[in-house]
Amino acid sequence: MADFIIFNDALEKEYYNGNLLLSTMKQYVAIDAYTVNGAEIETKNLIITGDNLKEGEQAFYTGIMTGKESVPDNAKLDIDAKGIIKIDSVAYGIYNSGDGSYSADNIYIKANAIIDDKYWAGPRYIGGEAVNTKGILNLTANNNMTLIGEVDGLNIYGGDYKSTIESEFQDNIGTTYVKAVNGKLNIIGELENGVYSQMQPLQDGIKTAELKAGSTVNIYGKENGVYYQPGSRNLSIISDNDDVNITSDGTAFDGDNRSYSTVKLSNLRSNVKVNAENGSVNIIGGKNGLLLDNNKIKGESGGEYYYGGYYNTMNINAGKSVNISGGEEFGIRILNKLANDDITMNIPEETDKTAYLNITSKGIVNVSGAKAGIMASSVKTSYSNKLNTYRHTLYTTLYFIGKRATENNNCNH
């Protein structure tokens, strides 16, 4: 079985009247799958790279692309490499708008952003994402996987438009599986987010996103390790036999984000699971450790628009220890803005609008923050024990460390 190697010289940036001609650069795609009939590639090694490039240059706009760029469609691509998949010298490693399945013994993808240094508002970054998916993605390494993006490591994208294709593909758009079965999973966003998860246009349910490794899971983003819009996915981050490390110079896990997409189905509960049954969970941010809230969204039904919500439950489980730290502000901050929201909303009275954080450890739980270890708050100054919950079980020692208490703190020891 032969190797499959695709290489190119450096892309040239062309400008017209001061505007970068991206349409020209977008033509340079190493593998472009644009057929519903499906395409299959079986090879020893798949390598997409550049020839004689300077640091930061791209040989291709995209390494592998399925479907259309702006609208998910059911173009299918199946790549099975018995050795490695290695993609570099690209703005996007994998841009998955279709149904993409990629497997290898080891996977390494590194993407550098195209810098538009003549943009009117100042230099802007285009691409710089190892993987961008808004279709259906199955990315599997038997051993180790590393995804490095100059901007984002893994962008589980909502997309700009909703697919109109009525099919099984339509029912599963947004489903994402990224697995390093026996090895390490490393996801790095050098300038922004390690993992970015956002709502889909006219979302009619909550799809699954699972990031899993047999060994260590390492997720780092300069601004956010994980940027998560509540309700965007049921997100699982799992290590079978080792630690889960989510780190950032800013916020390690940012689950306090609003969506501006209109959805078809609201008032649902999303679930986030961070699990290291045989190791530790470490959520460490230079600014904040863990931020969590619900998501106020705009819904549409029969041409009528209303406000509703997606409500969040996060479960953290570790066999050894849980360590959550915010260097400048909070270890954990939980807000329940929707619990007391008096804006007219189409939310059934019986709906549980609480945001839940459940932490289970068989060892030590450490929570520390410069302002407060745990800060729980709502829009109003009064509290009910239903508004904010912090649960812990099966621990031997539990530490909350804060240099000073803050007004309206509600820390349940």
What is the DSSP track for 354-376?
A: -EEEEEEESSEEEEEESSEEEEE
What is the tens place of the pLDDT at every residue in 206-225?
899 999 999 999 999 999 99
The residue that leads in pLDDT, 296 or 152, is: 152
pLDDT of residue 341 exceeding 60, the answer is no
Percent of the chain's residues with pLDDT above 90: 51
Q: In terms of C-beta density within 10 A (0-12 exposed, 13-18 middle, 19 or more buried), how is residue 78 classed?
A: middle
What pLDDT score does 375 carry?
A: 81
In the prediction, which pLDDT does 162 show?
60
Q: How far is residue 355's CA from residue 389's CA, in Å, rounded to a whole number?
A: 8
| SS3 sequence of 20-82 | ECHHHHCCCEEEEECCCCCEEEEECCEEEEECCCCCCCCCEEEEEEECCCCCCCCCEEEEEEC
pLDDT in tens, 253-305: 999 877 767 777 777 888 999 999 999 999 999 999 999 988 877 777 777 77
Mean pLDDT of the chain: 83
pLDDT for residue 353: 76
Whether the Cβ atoms of residue 96 and residue 138 lie closer than 8 Å to each other:
no
Distance in angstroms (rounded) separating the CA atoms of residues 272 and 294: 12
Token representation of residue 95: 């841009």
Q: What average pLDDT score do residues 398-405 get? A: 39
Among 22-26, 42-46, 304-308, 397-401, the range of highest mean pLDDT: 42-46
Question: 297 pairs with which residues across the strands?
Answer: 308
Classify the C-alpha dihedral 330-336-342-344 as positive or negative. Answer: positive
Half-sphere exposure of 390 (CA within 13 A, CB side): 22
**What's the pLDDT band for 391 if we cut at 50, 70, 90?**
very low
State the pLDDT at residue 364. 92
Q: What is the pLDDT of residue 384?
A: 30
**Which of 234, 161, 223 is closest to 195 using CA atoms?**
223
Across the range 396-409, mean pLDDT stands at: 37
Rounded distance between C-alpha atoms, residue 88 and residue 150, angstroms: 11
- 8 pLDDT exceeds 80? yes
The two structure tokens encoding residue 231 = 């309700």
Reported confidence tier of residue 201, pLDDT bands at 50, 70, 90: confident
49-53, 157-161, 324-328: which is most confident? 324-328
Asked if residue 71 lies in contact with residue 163, where contact means CB atoms within 8 angstroms, the answer is yes
Task: Please tell me the distance from the alpha carbon of residue 148 to that of residue 48, in angstroms, as a whole number.
Answer: 15
Residue 71: pLDDT over 70: no
Give me the pLDDT at residue 401, please. 43
Asked if residue 393 has pLDDT above 50, the reply is no
Q: What is the pLDDT of residue 360?
A: 93
- Range with the poorest average pLDDT among 96-105, 125-134, 165-174, 237-246: 165-174
pLDDT band (50, 70, 90) for residue 149? very high
Confidence grade of residue 164 (pLDDT, cut at 50, 70, 90)? low
Per-residue pLDDT averaged across 350-363, rounded? 86
